[in-house]
Amino acid sequence: MGGRVAGRSVVAWVLTTALAVSATGCGVEELPPEEPGSAPGTVEQALVENNGLSLNGLSLNGLSLNGLSLNGLSLNGLSTTDFATWFNGNPAGNAQLMRYMVTCAVPANESRTFTNPSTGLVYTWQGGMGLAPDWAGGAPASLVEQQVISACLAAHANNYGLHVPISLLGRDSKEVTIPFSSEEMATFARKESCFFGNVFKNEGLFAGNDRSALASDESSSRPCGLVGFGLLSNSSCSQVQRVGQCEQHCTLDPNGAFYTQCTVNGVQYKPLTTRIRPQDINRCGDGVCQQGERCGFGITADSCLLDCGTCVL
C-alpha cells in the first residue's frame, strides 16, 4: 500500500466549452473561437477523485511529438512560442495529449493553463496522479520521470477512442507506490499489461501481457493492452510494440502487485502495470459486436458470426 492520498483518479471530463469528443477515436476537436468582444473560449478538463482509478482514452492515432522537445517543456509554464507552434500543428490531438500528460505528471490539486495565441482559447488541464513532481514544478524531466510519464501515456492509450476504466499500479519517479486498495484489486480482477518506454528520447513505447493471452474467442476494448497468443502486434495500436509476456522482461515488486523494472534492447525502464474489470474482456457469442471483433463465419473474435454477422463485400 502506498502513502499518497491523491495519487490516482477516476476521470470525469468536464468540457465547459469549445470541445467535442469523437466516438470514433479521433479524440477532441477544437471549435472556432468566439466572436470578438465576448469572453475568451475556455476548455477545462477536470478530474473527480474516486480511489485513484483512471479512464483511458488517449488516441495515439495521428499524434506526434515531433517538433516539441519534451525535455525542455516546463509544465509550470506553457507560454513559450515553441510550445504554441507545436500545439497548433495539431490542436485537437495535442490538446488531448496534454490532458493526459498533465493528468499523469501533475498532482490532483493543481492544474496547468495555456492560452492559444492563434485562437484565444484558454485550455485548463487538471492534474491527477502526480507521477513526475519535479518536471511538474518546472525542472527538466529526469530520466526516471521521462520513463514514468511515457508508461502512463501508453497505459492510457486507446485508439478505439473508448473510455475503459483501468487500475494503474506501480511507483512514481520518487519510488513512492501508487496507492491501491483490496477493493480496487477485487473489482479490477483481471491482470492486463505492463507498459514502458521513453517518448522523450524517441525510444518508443512497449507493452506485454501480464496474464495468459486472450483466447481465440476473446477480444479487448483496449487494443494497446492484451493480445492473443503469439501475437506481437495489434494493427489498432501499431505505435506500441509488443514484447510478449511481461514476466520475460520485467521484475515484480516483492508483493507481486506490479512490475518495478522492465528491460528491452538492453535498456532498463520504469514501467506501470494495469488491471481491468472482467466484464471488459469481450467474448464472441455474447450477442454484441464490439470493438476488437470482426464479421465472418466463425466463432473467433476476428471472425464472429454470432455477434457481427457475415461480412458485406
The answer to whether residues 206 and 183 belong to one domain is: yes
The answer to whether residues 138 and 109 belong to one domain is: yes
The answer to whether residues 152 and 293 belong to one domain is: no
The answer to whether residues 78 and 177 belong to one domain is: yes
The answer to whether residues 82 and 42 belong to one domain is: yes
The answer to whether residues 131 and 227 belong to one domain is: yes
The answer to whether residues 200 and 299 belong to one domain is: no
Domain count, the chain: 2
The answer to whether residues 163 and 182 belong to one domain is: yes
Q: 11 lies in a domain?
A: no
d(C-alpha 93, C-alpha 100), whole Å = 11
Q: End-to-end distance of the chain based on CA atoms, in angstroms?
A: 54
pLDDT tens for each residue of the chain, 313 residues long: 443 333 333 222 222 212 222 222 222 223 233 333 334 455 554 333 333 355 666 666 555 554 445 555 666 668 888 888 888 988 888 888 888 889 899 998 899 999 999 999 999 999 989 999 999 888 888 999 999 999 999 998 888 888 888 999 999 999 999 998 899 899 999 999 999 999 888 898 999 999 878 888 888 888 888 887 666 667 788 888 999 899 999 999 999 999 999 999 999 999 999 999 999 999 999 999 988 888 999 998 888 999 899 998 7
Q: 9 lies in a domain?
A: no
The answer to whether residues 310 and 162 belong to one domain is: no
pTM as predicted:
0.79
Q: Which domain holds residue 81?
A: 19-276
The answer to whether residues 257 and 292 belong to one domain is: no
The answer to whether residues 111 and 37 belong to one domain is: yes
- Give the cell for residue 155: 497505459
d(C-alpha 49, C-alpha 51), whole Å = 6
Cα angle 232-238-243, degrees, rounded to a multiple of 5: 30
